[in-house]
Amino acid sequence: MMALNQEAKDAGITVFNEIGLDPGIDHLYAVKTIDEVHNEGGKIISFWSYCGGLPAPENSDNPLGYKFSWSPRGVLLAARNTAQFYKDGRKETIPGEKLMSNARPYHIYPGYAFEAYPNRDSTPFRERYNIPEAQNLVRGTLRYQGNPAFIQTLRDLGMLSEEEQDFLKPTAQPVPTWKEAFAKIVGATGNSEQDLVWAVSSKAKFANNDEKDRIVAGLRWFGLFSDAQIEPRGNPLDCLCAAMEGKMQYEKGERDFVMLQHKFEIEWANGKREMRTSTLCDYGEPEGSGGYSAMARLVGVPCAVAVLMVLDGEIKDKGVLAPVTGDISEPIRKKLQKDYGIEMREKTLA
């Protein structure tokens, strides 16, 4: 998009990007703290930012601890991306096939059991946030405990593959059952549950027997060992998405939940170090109530506010914009806080 910056300027138009939740609200409060610290003579030694759009804990009642508030395909594809970030001053890379197995427990509040893993490429944010001094810099995703191991197993089994398979195409006759299709995907010798479990055990790695039992139970819950016919969509990933769509939607009365947190490790001119956090924890209205989900509100309202500020002339810049500088981010942040009660709570921990 930035390649179009000059053309947008020449056309005299504003193309506003990255103004939802993540990216969006995260930028507003990252820039706020970074500018404050720099203006007081400090340095940002480490910046960690993690966000998760999740079901409320009481509604995380399926093997993935997850329900879809956006594209199932997008969720699963994001779990295959290679990640880059800074750790101890060095650029680190995690290949996509190992991303989920590198997820680690991440503490925010004692009442939540999160795991976290890095998103795509965090390294440009040294420059975008003007923190060349940062030795650690990660932007990542939060999931409930156990989710990454399950997704890693699906990848190891070939269930996230986009490779076309004749037996999964809509033209296939007869349409296979899930146990027949799953047997072919994992290379099982037969399609009995015993054969399928043996194939799963031979292709996937588990931390222990309890984890294996939990994931096998989850595969069973999704219907992959069953006589139910697949919805043929051509490849394992899209067939799996069809199975998930029917089982992982929000039901009436259920709520979604968003957690976003920045952690800043700060070094002051006298050598003293300090840890600050900025945290957003928000629940949506119950499904079927007529209200907004947390995801809809936290993505939609910032975007709408930015559009109105452009239309009203409060933001006059032309070209391709994102709220990663104080002159753009500050008025949006203040309006979200004052008019809509959308804010990240800031604390100094030590």
Q: Which of 232, 290, 233, 294 is nearest to 260 (CA)?
A: 294
| Mean pLDDT across 72-81 | 89
331: its two tokens: 């008025």
pLDDT at 62: 96
Q: How far apart are CA 11 and CA 20, in angstroms?
A: 25
Residue 204 within a domain = yes
Q: Are residues 122 and 161 in the same domain?
A: no
pLDDT at 31: 98
Domain that holds residue 201: 151-247
CA angle 224–229–233, rounded 5-degree value: 90
Q: How far apart are CA 138 and CA 131, in angstroms?
A: 13
Secondary structure (3-state) at 37: helix
- Give residue-wise pLDDT tens across range 267-314: 999 999 999 999 999 999 999 999 999 999 999 999 999 999 999 999
Instruction: Give, rounded to a whole angstrom, the gap between the first and last alpha carbons of the chain.
Output: 39
Q: Are residues 272 and 179 in the same domain?
A: no
Q: Residue 189: which pLDDT band, with cuts at 50, 70 and 90? A: very high
Backbone angles phi, psi at 28, to 5 degrees: -55, -40
Q: Which of 306, 267, 255, 334 is nearest to 54 (CA)?
A: 255
Residue 210 within a domain = yes
- Give residue-wise pLDDT tens across range 31-58: 999 999 999 999 999 999 999 999 999 9
Q: Are residues 240 and 321 in the same domain?
A: no
Q: Which residues are catalytically annotated?
A: 22
- Give residue-wise pLDDT tens across range 146-177: 999 999 999 999 999 999 999 999 999 999 99
Domain boundary among 229, 247, 265: 247
Q: Are residues 168 and 84 in the same domain?
A: no
Q: Are residues 170 and 184 in the same domain?
A: yes
Q: Are residues 132 and 276 in the same domain?
A: yes
- Give residue-wise pLDDT tens across range 305-347: 999 999 999 999 999 999 999 999 999 999 999 999 999 999 9
Indicate which CATH number applies to the domain containing 193. 1.10.1870.10
Q: Which of 211, 210, 258, 259 is nearest to 107 (CA)?
A: 259
Q: Are residues 29 and 81 in the same domain?
A: yes
Backbone angles phi, psi at 178, to 5 degrees: -65, -40
